[in-house]
Every structure is written in structure tokens, then in C-alpha cells.
A and B are shown apart, each in its own frame.
Chain A
Amino acid sequence: QVTLKESGPVLVKATETLTLTCTVSGFSLSDPRMSVSWIRQPPGKALQWLALISSKGEKSYNTSMKSRLTISKDTSKSQVVLTMINVDPVDTATYYCAQIEGEMSTTFEFWGQGTLVTVSS
């Protein structure tokens, strides 16, 4: 059974660095078929893709946010970490991690429950 669970601070201050962790189970981050993404959703707004890391460690980022994001993984801990620097109140959102299975797939098949992060000014 595939599960993903996000964790991190509930509240951060503007200009600080946000670090979120996605802990996965039911699959290995070294499985060549598996990739993990971070996706966020501001309150009442649409989903926005942020970043992806493949089993090979290849990384992709939302073009508009690339300068502020870093995605990494620790296969031994089954964790994928997203770091966002210089946060702003507009970064207030629920942050989800999601799995893509299949080397040619572009589908977010399984999602975590999400974690709400509030950025205060």
C-alpha cells in the first residue's frame, strides 16, 4: 500500500526558509519507475506544481519558482525534502507530495494528505 505523508512547520515568518519533508512507504525511492513531486494549493485556489525528483535524482522545477526551490531525497530514510527560501505570505498554502509511477507516466497517482503552511508577515 502506497502512502505519502508531509511534515513541516505550521507557521513560518516572511523571508525565512521553509523545509518540508515527504515520507513515503509502500515503494522505494530507488525504484526506477518512481518519481515524487511537490504540489501546493493556496486557500481557495488551484493546484500548482512545484518540483519533481526522479529515482535517478533528476530534478525539475516550476520555472517561475526555480530560484527559490530545492528538492532532494534520502533514499535510506524514504524521504523527499523540499526547501523554499525567502518565503512570503503568498506562499501560504497546503503543500502536497505526490507519486508518479512509471518511467513514461505523467500522472500523480497517489497523494499525501497535505500540510497547511501559513507564512506570517
Chain B
Amino acid sequence: SYVLTQPPSVSVAPGQTARITCGGNNIESKSVHWYQQKPGQAPVLVVYDDSDRPSGIPERFSGSNSGNAATLTVSRVEAGDEADYYCQVWDGSRDQYVFGPGTEVTVL
């Protein structure tokens, strides 16, 4: 099965940049999607197809995908960005939707 890896936690000061990685074998060949989940809430899509933003998501959220890692970048971090972030791909060879283990972002 296709496995995604993420760092368990990332800490960042307000106004700085948070980078969250999502590792997978040749992940650049897949479309990567990112979700933000705050405590007690359902996940919210923040980036899809590697680098596109849904309407209503601030430009501070951006994504990239190359080689064996995709990255979600949150610029000018705010206290409200504190949440768990999950990456997700579709493994077409097995028709399986796969989530990463999640990264907890803490704003210092």
C-alpha cells in the first residue's frame, strides 16, 4: 500500500513561515491535497492538486510537489493557523485514498 509520512509537529512564531512536508515514493506523480483540522471540527480543504487554493482560502497557504515530497507552506503565520494538517493522495494503482499521519502546527 502507498504510505505517506509527515512530521508529527511543527512550531512557528507568528509572522514567520511554516513548512509541512508530506513524503511518499515518487509523490510528484500524484496530486496532493492538504486539509486543515482544528480541534473539534471537520477537516477543511486548504490546497488541492498540489498547489491550487479553494475559494476563501488565504493566499498565505501554498503548496508544491517534487520528487518524493510535497510541501504545504503557510506564510505570515497567524494564531488562527494553529491546527492539525493532513496531506492526502489517491493511489490509482489500488484505487485507494490515502491520508498522511498529520502534523500538529503550534504557533508560539
Contacts and interface: CB of A to CB of B under 8 A. Distances in A.
Given A48-B99, A63-B96, A108 B33 contact: yes
Contacts, number: 52
Q: Which bracket fits the contact residues of A?
A: 10 to 19
Interface string B21-45: 0000000000101010000001111
Interface stretch (A8-16, A81-89, A111-119): A111-119
A48 B101 CA distance: 9
Nearest to A112: B42
A62 B95 CA distance: 9
Contact of A37 (B35, B43, B97, B102): B97
Interface of B: 1, 31, 33, 35, 42-45, 48-49, 54, 86, 88-90, 94-102
18 contacts: A46-B86, A46-B99, A46-B100, A49-B98, A52-B97, A96-B42, A106-B33, A106-B89, A107-B45, A107-B49, A108-B33, A108-B35, A108-B97, A109-B45, A109-B54, A111-B42, A112-B42, A114-B42
Interface of A: 37, 39, 46-49, 52, 60, 62-63, 96, 106-109, 111-114
